[in-house]
Chain A
Amino acid sequence: MIKFFEILGRFIIKTIEEMGQLMLLVVNSFIWTFRPPLRIRAIFKQMEFVGVKSLFVVILTGAFTGAVMTIQIFYGFSMFGAESLVSPTLAIAMARELGPVLTALMVTGRAGSAIAAELGTMRVTEQIDALYVMAANPIKFLVVPRIIAGVFMLPILTVVANLMGVLGGYLVGVILLDINASIFIGNIVEFLNPSDIFNGLIKSAVFGFILTLIGCYKGFYTTGGAEGVGRATTESVVMASILILASDYIMTAIMF
């Protein structure tokens, strides 16, 4: 029994410590974002890494999600003759939920993990210490550009995912399932609100913040050599994914 409380206590202490560390990183990143000079080149480099290089995987994710959703929605709606509402349902689902969330999860797997691995390696090979020694703040040099890149690139990627989702849906719906093309497009235009898209993009910016922050956080505080880098990478993906899904629920409850 005492052993149980010991383990529980240790877990709680560790969790609180971790939360504190994470909050400190958030506060420091915020402060360093507004301290000149802004490192434009580093930011663009990270934008390329987080954004441009995730484009392919986001295109595939969006297209296949749109295609499969169309089949599923069509299956349900055709039962009561509502085929014309397949496309707006798909578009709203993509814009509000599937676009932002799936994009964020894919980018977490691709870029969030890579950020954790890179910073973790820099930590265990003393490159982060070297930055401190050379009086160059690692948060400014490493963390801030990545977080900025995440916040700006995720909405752009989400727009791509949304468009690809509709395109995938169009191919399946119009060509395979014989929905009238002008009805397909026309009903999207009629029923999809700009606020659906806009709120989805706000979510995706938050997700971009979460996935880069957690990647940086897990990498930055890596200990224990190569094994530690592996652990940090895995933990960053798990933690970022959970936070993305949880924050999605909270934001959805507030927004819609």
Chain B
Amino acid sequence: MTESIIQINDLHKSFGDTPVLRGLNLSIEKGEITFIIGRSGGGKSVLIKLIIGLLKPDSGQILVDGHDIVPLGDHDLNRVRHRFGMLFQNAALFDSMTIGENIAFPLVTHTGLKEKEIEELVEQKMAMVGLEGIQDKMPTEISGGMRKRAGLARAIILEPEILLFDEPTTGLDPIMAEMIDDLIVQTQERTNVTSIVISHDIPATLRIAHNVAMIYEGQIVTYGTPAQIQASDNHIVQQFLTGEGEGPMYLGD
């Protein structure tokens, strides 16, 4: 029996007159990889930003270990954020810093470690994601796949309990995409971190996810293991998995 580390209850979020999340419920199991799939603009990125407190919901609860983070102010929220690491869609490395400085940033900001210790940790994490010897390069000098891996190294440097991935393989070639997917699995296996992955990549989802949640119309329409999802008789889920243009899914404007 697994326990849930994040519990989301009846979450609503609108932008202007457009509702994005309409009463979303979801629980994230500790130490497992949960994929959140759904159409572009369907609220996946909004959900992940709500979980890390970059956005505030209109109503609803987000419980992390049983504590609601929605009403928290900046100071308390920052304490919760120490438990998270996040890999952004385009890695979001700081342009003005080298790769090494980027990966060291959380250590420099939040720990009193000495330069030597920081250097060692950075090297260790870089080796873990398969990046070596590029500490002194700038983010613009390396490829998209390398940036993602550097972003991952930065996300795990403080050994977070929960890792968030915002479309980790979008825009990468298939080989690099598979490498990133494997890194997600390896990281989870090595550190027993809880991973939440937003993705459109159905084959990868079915291959590496422990649990899959599908968002449609601002709610979770289905949740289960990849096998359960594939066996789902929900037409919307089936349409999304096969990627057909014809079906019950509202394709909209």
Contact = CB atoms under 8 A, between A and B. Distances in A.
Interface of A: 121-122, 125-127, 129-130, 132-137
A126 B109 contact: no
Interface in B90-133: 90, 92-95, 105-106, 109-110
A130 B88 contact: yes
A130 to B, nearest CB: 4
B84 interface: yes
Contacts of B92: 125-127, 129-130
B39 to A, nearest CB: 20
Interface of B: 49, 52-54, 74, 78-79, 81-82, 84, 86, 88-90, 92-95, 105-106, 109-110, 154
Contact of A134 (B49, B53, B79, B105): B105
Nearest to B55: A129
A193 B153 CA distance: 60
- Which of A130, A132, A136, A137 neighbours the largest number of chain B CB atoms within 10 Å of its CB? A130
Contacts of B79: 135
Contact of B81 (A121, A122, A125, A133): A133
A152 B94 CA distance: 26
Given A126-B88, A126-B89, A133 B94 contact: no
A137 B79 CA distance: 13
A123 B82 CA distance: 21
A155 to B, nearest CB: 26
B81 A127 contact: no
A84 B74 CA distance: 63
13 contacts: A125-B90, A125-B92, A126-B90, A129-B54, A129-B92, A130-B86, A132-B54, A133-B54, A134-B81, A134-B154, A135-B81, A136-B105, A137-B74
Shortest Cβ-Cβ A-B pairs, 3 listed: A135-B78, A130-B92, A126-B92
B106 A134 contact: yes
A68 to B, nearest CB: 39
Contacts of A125: 90, 92, 95
Contacts of B88: 126, 129-130
Given A127-B95, A129-B88, A134 B109 contact: yes
Contacts of A121: 95
